[in-house]
Amino acid sequence: MPPLTGSIEIVLGGAAAVSAGVLAYAVRVPSCSLLAPSVHRGAGVRPAIALTFDDGPSESTPELLEILAGHRAPATFFQIGANVRRLPEIAREIVAAGHEIGNHTDTHPLLALKSPGFIDRELAAAQESIQRATGQRPRYFRAPYGVRWFGLRQAQQRLGLAGVMWSSIALDWKRQKPSVVSRLIEGAAPGAILCLHDGRVLQHRPDIGVTLRAVRELLPKLMEQGFRFEKVTDILCPTKN
């Protein structure tokens, strides 16, 4: 009997380890859609890249808009509802410049272990704040920290949001410019979705100097390699010329 008990414990322990591994994969891996439908790259049929910026708007976003305008580079901004309410004029400036706005929740919480109701309220509040400030209702959603959880699928469906992750993330909130640029150059490929940040969660007047310097260096390098820039809406369209 003891050997049988030991075997059962081994089997149960192995099953638990497998389940934990599957859950970790579903929660964090950008290419996984087990918990909520999402994409992490475009079709890759043309030399185009989508630049995306999370956590804004911030007081430094206008400087980023100037850099993008100088290279005629459209982008998609995944914005936090609380930051939009704080800086609605900057959110409107983003739209006026021809960029696209996505939903990045209302207060940037870690969604893991949160209830479906909490998740739905976070997405809905951000949708409302963004639409009220800009007149643009987001079509795309990016989870804070890239973490998905149970209930997110239903919230996205109810609000008409498609999940968008990334094929390469800059880590621009903790790395220096050379590392940020090299990471994104390495991740550059037709259909790539690059993730940077024009804010630092809910900070007022965040220091995004690394991001700004990296974007100034990155854009001409990618253009020299023959890439052009598209919004998420366009990078996901395989028939676009």
> Could you report the per-residue pLDDT of 175-208, keeping only the tens digit for each?
999 999 999 999 999 999 999 999 999 999 999 9
Over residues 47-57, the mean pLDDT reads 98
Residue 24: both structure tokens together: 């970790």
pLDDT at 2 over 50: no
Hey, which bits of 108-169 come out as E strands? 140-141, 162-164, 168-169
For residue 23, the model assigns a pLDDT of 78
- Look up residue 46 and give its DSSP letter: S
Radius of gyration of the chain measured on its C-alpha atoms: 19
pTM summary value: 0.90
Query: Please, which pLDDT band fits residue 239 given cuts at 50, 70 and 90?
Result: confident
- Residue 26, pLDDT > 90, answer no
CA distances (Å), origin 153, targets 150, 211, 225: 7, 31, 37
Token pair of 205 as six digits? 């007047």
Token pair listed for 105:
């929740």
Whether cis (ω within 30° of 0) applies to the bond prior to 57 is yes
The kind and range of the H/E element at 81 are helix 81-86
pLDDT beyond 50 at 8 = no
What is the chain's mean pLDDT, rounded?
A: 92
What top-level class would CATH report for the domain 37-235? alpha beta
Angle between helices 61-70 and 209-224 (to 10 degrees): 10
The question of whether 104 is a catalytic residue gets the answer no
Burial class from Cβ neighbours inside 10 Å (0-12, 13-18, 19+) for residue 2 reads exposed
Find, among 70, 66, 73, 71, the residue nearest to 93 by Cα: 66
Let me know if 54 is a catalytic residue: yes
Using an 8 Å Cβ cutoff, are 86 and 63 in contact? no
Which residues lie closer than 8 Å to 26 by C-beta, 6 or more apart? 32, 34, 35, 148
pLDDT at 240 over 80: no
List the beta bridge partners of residue 101. 77
Catalytic residue among 104, 106, 197, 198: 197
Among the listed residues 54, 106, 120, 172, the single catalytic one is 54
For the chain, domain boundaries: 1-30, 37-235
Least confident of 23-27, 70-74, 138-142, 150-154: 23-27
